[in-house]
Structure 1
Amino acid sequence: MHPETHLMLHHARAAELRAAAQARRPAAEAGRPGELRARLGWTLVEVGLRLATAPKPTLAHA
């Protein structure tokens, strides 16, 4: 297959998939763009910081 033909088919299929995804999830665009991405990013930062810090030593109570 010619590379340009393959690229045109790829772009057409990607456009079809985008249209189908937007039809299934119209509420996703109601919020601010990137809000979910920002929340996920900060959550990952928080998890990373918790994993990077040394746990506090626990004292055994007798």
Structure 2
Amino acid sequence: MGNGKYCTWFQDDDGIWQTDCNEGHIFETGSPFQNDFRFCPYCRKRIEIDYPATHSSRDGEKNERA
């Protein structure tokens, strides 16, 4: 998943955003980027979003980085 520069986030089946740094975050609506998150508040790395194959990002890419 993530590498040294990025913390990969993905949304689980319960709607909780799970992170590479083993934290969970809940947004009332939207994704981390839609809520102006660019850096992980837990490990301070840039956020990379990993979308499941069945869901694509706004750009049609699998992953989206801040």
TM-score by length of 2: 0.18
Larger radius of gyration: 1
**Higher fraction of strand:** 2
TM-score by length of 1: 0.18
| Greater relative contact order structure (CA < 8 Å, 6+ sep) | 2
